[in-house]
Structure formats: structure tokens, C-alpha cells
Amino acid sequence: MRAPVRYEVVIPTAGRPTLETLLAALGAADGPLPDRVLLVDDRSPGSPPPALRLRGPLAGRTSVLRSGGRGPAAARNVGWRAARAPWVAFLDDDVIPSAGWRAALAADLCGLAPDVVGSQGAIRVPLPRDRRPTDWERNVAGLEHARWATADLAYRRDALAAVGGFDERFPRAYREDSDLGLRLADRSLRIVAGERCVLHPVGTVDRWVSLRKQAGNADDALMAALRGRGWRDRAGAPPGRLARHAATTAAGVAAAVAAAAGARRLAVAAAGLWLAGTGELAWARVAPGPRTREEVTTMALTSVALPPAATAHRLAGTWRAHRLVRAGGGPAPERPLAVLLDRDGTLIEDVPYNKDPSRVLARPGVGAALARLRGTGVRLAIVSNQSGIGRGRLTREQADAVMDRAVELLGPFDDVRICPHRPEDGCACRKPAPGLLLDAASALGVPALRCAVIGDIGADVRAAQAAGMRAVLVPTAVTRPQEIAAAPEVAPTFAAAVDRLLWEVV
């Protein structure tokens, strides 16, 4: 019989009235209750706490935290760092969980593979049945197809700790979701679709909401700077219209400049291009909608201002992104609870098929760096491929004698294990397979997500990624250039690798 799933619910809120509807639906849903509901008030400091009338099973399980108005990424970080359950389920404060949401969440999370660190719920946006949806209604309905939308997404807490949670350099919603999803995917971790469902009603907005939403173009610039130009394909994000917006804006600017300079023909030509671009945008927004007078007027007015607004936000965002990237920072992984160490070429000098303990020499700086790790309470293990045993180049007794000498020089270690197999044996323990690492983590009693690996070749890195662990490569003369290029983290020395693991602390 499986143990019941333990989870906590984190709800960032700006004090919207929909919060009480959410809490009432969550409390009335079927299924196991959360350990706690953590409401994170993201209004500015000094705002009064949310006025909540909690009744029913959530009344004694709900706490209010403050994040100081720093945006949804910071609010979610405040929430999951306060959580203690293995799973953290994020809900936006404007969704309504279905009647069976709690039971469906428990079913979604039960029995997931270790490399599955997230479960995304389905989002349903109710649209009017008696007419075609407006531009804003279609915009909200896009959430139904959004990848990694945190409006309803449960994460393993250990996975959030392993990558540092949400990047607070994103001040608005949406792109911080994609950024986190990509960082988890870079560690070969998966987010899967669940069966549960929330309703996301379309809220009432004013005429100019589409212009305010163009601020998100600045976040797209930061995504490109952090994750590369192909981030949209990897994150499943739609391509957007920025190139068209920029062309329309450029035509409008050219028309104005040419008119001021008295270049009438050029001004007329540029104005024609601007009018064509603006008209195409307006029609693209009007055509699928209800085409009421109010909607057509709103689309006409905002389509004039939308291209320059989008372009200006993107330019400002590009400047800000380069400044932020130069300054460094970003999400900092929590300190690993265990570090798994390759032996030959990492801890000691690499002597192929060494059977002589007297030839064991510690690599420079390793002893002091290991002492620093032990001093912080990090558990240590050696995980070493020793195919010489399987090849008949040395006996198990000789391999053990060499290992004993390495431990004598650099120990103590909490766990030591080797794989004696040849590559062609197809075992599950030889790196780059993850078996040796997962066995060591299990022996240490540490979740794989909270382990880090230090090694000198690509097999060490690939084994860590297959196990869902952080990997730091310390190249030596035998490390191939393509292994260095493919490694997620590279340090010039073993001591520098330890610096990375101990310095990047939340």
C-alpha cells in the first residue's frame, strides 16, 4: 500500500476578490487535505493583510506570508521555501479548483518516476457560447495550451531547491514559468500533464489592457539573453509578432522623419507601410472576435499604439537583460546535501588500471576542499568506474587496495562504491548510466535531486544528469573539448568546483 501523498499549496496573491472563491472551492474539494495552505501576500509593504473568512477544513491550515510586492516569482519563492512537504502545489489566486481537485492531485502525484519533478493541471477558460470571444478573452484562453503554467502546477520541493526556484529577475508573470521549466529540462528532469483541472474565469478589464501586456516583451528579451534564441521552441511558446511590430514602428518613425525633412514621396511611402501594418494588425484582432462597435473601436485604437509599445518594451528589456546578465546573480541552488565524487582524475591522479597503492597521489587542493565540504555537513561518496576488473587487468583485491589508499589519503567518506564491469557488459551501474550514483544516494539517505557530482569526463556529467543530480566538470588533459562544451557547469579546479557548490547558496 502506497503512503499518502503529502503536499502544501502555495497561492501568491495581490488581494484579488477571487481569492476567497478559490479557497472555498479548495476546502470543499474531495481528496486528502494539504499539510498547509501558504498565502503569499505580494502587495507593497504596509498593506493590510487579506481579509479572509476561512471556514471548514482549511481554517486551521492556512498561513499568510509576505513577499513585499516583488512580483510573482519572488512570491512563489517565499512560499515554497516556507513549505516542508515533499510536493508544493502552486495555484494562482484567480483560478477555481474543480470539485475533485484534491483527489485528482493526489492521484497525479502518486507513483511518479524520480525524474518527474512536476505535474501540470489542466486549465479551462470558460468562453461565451452566444458570441465569438473578444481579443482579451482569446488572450486568457491561451492559458489552456500554455506549457508549464504555474496557475496549477505541483513541483517536488527538492527539485525547486536543486535549481534555486523561480528567477526573480522576471518581475511579471509567465516567463518565470518557462525559465524554470527550461532549467529543470536542462537537468533531464520532466514535467508531465496531470488529470486534475482548474477553471480560470476571464476577469473584467479596461480597454487598454493589451497595451499594458506589451511589457512582457521585456521579459522575452531576458529569456533570449539567458536561454538563447531557441528558447521559444524549447518552451513551447508561440512565436509572437515582434518582427511585424518593429517593422510597423520603423515605418511610422520613417514617415515622421521624412515629413519633417520635406521628403514628401518618402513620407507617403513610409506612411503607407505604417498604415498597412497597423491595418493588418487591427484586422487580425477584429476578424475572429464579435465585431461589436465597442470591440472594433478598442482594437482600432490599441492597434495604433501596440507596435511602438511592444518595440519600446523590447528595446528597454534588451538593455536591461544585458545589464542583468553582466551583473550575474539569478536563482541560486541550495547547498547539496551530498557530493558524489569520481576518483581517477578527480580525487587522485589518473593511473590507468592502477594496481599499486604506492602510486596513488592526491590531486592538488583536493584534501583541503574535501575538508571544507565535511565542515558544512555535506556527505561524501566515491563513485568510480573500474572496468580493469572486468577486463582482467587487475583483481578486485588489487582495486580495493588502491581504493583503500585513496580513502586513507583523503577520507573519511560516507560511502565508497565501484562498478567493475566493462562498457560492453551493458550494466546499469557503469557511468554514464546512473545506477552507481543512485545507489550511493540511497545509501546516504539523500534524495538524488539534492546530490551533486564532481567529475573530470563527460560520462560523469551524463550519469549525473540521468540521475537528476547537479554536475560540475573539472577538466583534465584527457577531457575532450566537446565534453567541456556540453557540461552545464565547468570549474578549472576541484577547489573551484567546491566553491561553486558552497557559494551558490540561497
Tell me the CA distances in angstroms from 54 to 14, 63, 125, 310, one per residue in order: 18, 11, 26, 42
DSSP 3-state of 456: coil
The vertex-54 CA angle with 49 and 56, nearest 5°, equals 160
Cell of 314: 523590447
Q: Which residues contact residue 28 at a Cβ distance below 8 angstroms, ignoring those fewer than 6 apart?
A: 56, 99
**Cα 465 to Cα 141: distance, rounded to the nearest angstrom:** 35
Phi and psi torsions of 205, nearest 5°: -135, 165
Q: Assign 198 to helix, strand or coil.
A: strand
**Catalytic choice (41, 94, 167, 344):** 344
Among the residues of 30-118, which ranges form H helices? 72-82, 101-109
Closest listed residue to residue 454, CA positions, set 470, 434, 432: 470
Cα separation, 280 vs 311, in Å, equals 17
β-pairing verdict for 451-455 and 415-419: unpaired
CA nearest to 272, candidates 251, 257, 247: 251
DSSP 233-268: HHHT----SHHHHHHHHHHHHHHHHHHHTT-HHHHH
Name the DSSP class of 348: B
Beta bridge partners of 63: 38
Question: Which phi and psi angles does 415 have, rounded to 5°?
Answer: -160, 140
Helix (H, G, I), strand (E, B) or coil at 182: helix
Per the annotation, the verdict on 439 as an active-site residue is no
What single DSSP character describes residue 432?
T
Judge whether 387 and 425 are in contact, CB under 8 Å: no
User: Of these residues, 41, 135, 167, 342, which one is catalytic?
Assistant: 342
Task: Look at residues 496, 431, 424, 415 and name the one whose alpha carbon lies nearest to residue 467.
Answer: 431
Sheet holding 7-13, edge to edge: 62-66, 37-41, 7-13, 87-91, 152-156, 116-124, 190-199, 96-97
| Catalytic residue flag (residue 404) | no
Q: Residues with catalytic annotation?
A: 342, 344
